[in-house]
């Protein structure tokens, strides 16, 4: 079974925040096609759509919002864990 990795988690957080693949791409230093591919892969792993297109905006649906919030918690926890491991 495949699982979401750190790049997917970062994409979910930033895309939910910016609501734009273009702006998310600038923050992540990735092209829009690369981000579209990552989003499609994440949605495939989850088994459900996570964002809805509304014009040029990408709006997180309830599943996308939940996963973006959880992704932020996971990455924060990972950061704390790495800091503690260096002590």
End-to-end CA gap in the chain: 34
Query: How many domains does the chain divide into?
Result: 1
- Would you state the pLDDT for residue 83? 86
User: Per the domain annotation, does 30 fall within a domain?
Assistant: yes
How much of the chain exceeds pLDDT 70, in percent? Answer: 99
The pLDDT mean for the chain works out to 94
Q: Model confidence over 2-31: pLDDT tens digits?
A: 899 999 999 999 999 999 999 999 999 999
The parent domain of residue 41 ranges over: 6-80
Provide DSSP, 30-68: --HHHHHHHHHHHHHHHTS--EEEETTEEEE-HHHHHHH
Asked, for residue 86, whether it belongs to a domain, the answer is: no
- Asked whether residue 87 is assigned to any structural domain, the reply reads no
Structural domain includes residue 56: yes
For the chain, counts of helices (H) and of strands (E): 4, 2
Q: How far is CA 9 from the centre of its chain?
A: 4
pTM: 0.90
Give pLDDT, residue 87.
61
pLDDT higher than threshold 90 for residue 37 = yes
SS3 content of the chain, % helix, strand, coil (to 5): 70, 10, 20
């Amino acid at each position: 079974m495949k699982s979401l990795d750190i790049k997917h988690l970062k994409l979910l957080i930033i895309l939910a925040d910016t609501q734009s693949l273009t702006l998310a791409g600038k923050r992540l230093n990735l092209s829009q096609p690369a981000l579209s591919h990552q989003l499609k892969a994440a949605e495939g792993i989850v088994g459900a759509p996570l964002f809805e297109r509304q014009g040029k905006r990408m709006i997180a649906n309830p599943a996308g919002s939940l996963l973006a919030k959880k992704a932020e918690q996971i990455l924060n926890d990972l950061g704390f864990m790495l800091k503690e491991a260096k002590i």
